[in-house]
Chains A and B, each alone.
Chain A
Amino acid sequence: AKTARLFDVRSWFGRKVDQDFLDELEAKLIRADVGVKATQILIDRVREAYADKTADEDLLAFLKAEMKALLQDPQAGALAKAPTNPTVILIAGVNGSGKTTSIAKLAQRLKDQGNSILLGACDTFRAAAADQLAIWAERSGADMVRGNAGADPASVAHDACDRALARKVDYLIVDTAGRLHTQTHLMRELEKVRGIISRKIEGAPHESLLVLDATNGQNAIQQARIFSKSIACSGVILTKLDGTAKGGVVVAVRQQTDLPVKFVGVGEGIDDLQPFDPDAFVESLFS
């Protein structure tokens, strides 16, 4: 019963804001994967503002407002658009985070907005990765460029750029193989893919999105740091938010790398992608 009380925010009201109270607040945020460091920063703010006062609705609103402000994106929900076609979106992330599925969802979304889409299947490593993307491409009516299993991903990117230019498609979305950020040679390979894209098409990639799994804990911070360094990420797609994991680590990611969340994945279906809503997200951290 103690734990139940611990995590019911309303039970806090009327209590003195002392160390005990702050410890419980800490527990709440840690449990949502916000992490020790990011939590400490938030708690220090609360301590400054409310030391020895009584916890009430305002305190909670104050804390939520801090987090919402942090997570706000100046270009909320919008993707960059190149002045001339194609706009190129590069997708990357660790193994199994949801890259390929997110591409399917993104393609559907952009298609629904009246755009023509080309997908580049640059995961030539994982068994049947291109087949997986091909099935999604068919479902969303997107065109696709693929290479043979084991082919150089950069050469597939090269061909995809050529076709995107020739057909003047609105968007080229490039899928890449999952890789852990610690695998230096695979990060070099990813940089090479990015390099080809930017050489072939001016200003491209216009978005480099990192796909983070909401069930991940603190390792996501290192993922964000190193992928950003490697391919200059412009935003995050946070997947698997339909489970019970809160994905609070994106608070720490924003604090420490400034990467904004652009979209969230809320299921395995092609329509299960939503623009990130900081308000709803922060509310869910406390529910």
Chain B
Amino acid sequence: MFDDIQHRLSDALGRFKVRGKLTEANMQEGLRAVRTALLEADVNYEVVQRFMKRVTEKAAGQALIKSVRPDQQIVKIVHDELIELMGEGDPHIRFEKAGPTVIMLCGLQGSGKTTTCGKLARRMLGLGRKPLMVAADLQRPAAIEQLKVLGQQLDIPVHAEDPEGTDPVEVCRRGVSQAEKLGRDTVILDTAGRLHVDDELMDQLKKIEKKVRPHQVYFVCDALTGQDAVASAGAFNAALELDGVIMTKLDGDARGGAALSVRQVTGVPIKFVGMGEKLERLDPFDPQRIVGQMLGMGDIVGLVEAA
């Protein structure tokens, strides 16, 4: 599929040989190929429309670089613009001076929250921090057990309660007190997966935010997500004011267009990417890599860069 697009692109682009300046007319076919590539990478339709408009405006009138074909120049312009839109990678987590730093993870069902909880905790250990994880998913069968197993693997404490007769807000509150008591300086809250249209469960998250006041709220987003990424990320951001996004399952062949969509709709930086099921597979976000994957036209970009 990938090669397909590349092929079509070089085909389309090969057809216009312009001298002088880029114009809307001579860019049209090439831009269309780029647009197709982005849509096939699952970038949200409106995001693509806005993006294409912006790139067209930016490129029109630019002088042609002599040693490079104009079509190649356009891909490079698109590529750079995408990288700018994705923002800087920033894998730093701000820790509080006093008391434990509390980080809450949230997201749709099955996006990778619990696994990411373990990955973050492992990363904290590496930074010399003393993390504690809180099992605040009282919903999914064996969710607590799952987090406990990760805690054992990492040899770090997990605060868990019998789901009968308690609720996630209470569990989180007591989890933080427990951390204080045990002298743990970082708390990671693993919340249940929920749909952004589930008012009751979204209210529950808001309640946790109000009562527990996490210092950082991260949205865990599945890189396989399609057009709906803007709806879910937008709703979570509206409810909670996200501080960061973690994209999971980027170890496959997903082109990860959701990254651009989510970035555009929330304005929140992507901090980490999940690159596998194992707890060491958490990488700092790298805009270059994701854009390369999304656009799938690395050779052309390399060519222009070398010129």
- Spell out A's residues near B (CB within 8 Å): 3, 27, 30-33, 35-37, 94-98, 125-129, 131-132, 134-136, 149, 178, 180-183, 213, 215-222, 240, 242-246, 249, 268
Contact = CB atoms under 8 A, between A and B. Distances in A.
Contact of B253 (A125, A136, A219): A219
30 contacts: A36-B36, A36-B40, A94-B224, A95-B112, A96-B111, A98-B109, A127-B149, A127-B153, A128-B142, A128-B146, A132-B140, A132-B142, A132-B143, A180-B249, A180-B251, A180-B252, A213-B110, A215-B108, A215-B224, A216-B222, A216-B225, A217-B224, A217-B225, A217-B258, A220-B224, A240-B109, A242-B195, A244-B195, A245-B228, A246-B228
B42 A218 contact: yes
B226 interface: yes
Interface in B23-50: 36, 39-42, 45-46
B255 interface: yes
A33 B251 CA distance: 22
B29 to A, nearest CB: 15
Contacts of B257: 217
Contacts of B222: 96, 213, 215-216
B252 A182 contact: yes
B255 A219 contact: yes
A244 B228 contact: yes
Given A126-B277, A180-B252, A268-B109, A131 B142 contact: yes
B228 A243 contact: yes
List of 10 A-B pairs having minimum Cβ-Cβ separation, nearest first: A217-B226, A96-B110, A217-B42, A180-B252, A127-B149, A245-B228, A132-B142, A135-B141, A128-B146, A128-B145
A15 B142 CA distance: 54
Given A132-B142, A240-B109, A31 B227 contact: yes
Contacts of A136: 141
A249 B195 CA distance: 20
B111 A219 contact: no
B225 A243 contact: no
B249 A94 contact: yes
Majority SS at the chain A contact face = loop
B259 to A, nearest CB: 12
A125 B110 CA distance: 16
Interface of B: 1, 36, 39-42, 45-46, 108-112, 114, 139-143, 145-150, 153, 195-197, 222, 224-228, 231-232, 249, 251-255, 257-258, 277
Which one of B110, B147, B222, B232 has the highest number of Cβ atoms from chain A below 10 Å of its Cβ? B110
Contacts of B110: 95-98, 213, 240
Majority SS at the chain B contact face = loop
Contact of A96 (B112, B139, B252): B112
Nearest to B151: A127
A77 to B, nearest CB: 24
Contact of A244 (B36, B46, B231): B231
Contacts of A96: 109-112, 222, 249
Contacts of A36: 36, 39-40
A215 B225 contact: yes
Which one of B228, B232, B254, B255 has the highest number of Cβ atoms from chain A below 10 Å of its Cβ? B228
B227 A33 contact: yes
A243 B146 contact: no
Contacts of A245: 226-228, 231
Contacts of A129: 142
A126 B114 CA distance: 11
A118 to B, nearest CB: 18
Contacts of B195: 240, 242-244
B189 to A, nearest CB: 18
B108 A243 contact: yes
A155 to B, nearest CB: 21
A217 B261 CA distance: 13
Given A30-B39, A182-B252, A221-B1, 15 more contacts: A3-B46, A33-B42, A36-B40, A95-B110, A98-B109, A131-B142, A149-B149, A181-B253, A215-B228, A215-B232, A216-B224, A217-B227, A218-B40, A245-B231, A249-B226
A31 B45 contact: yes
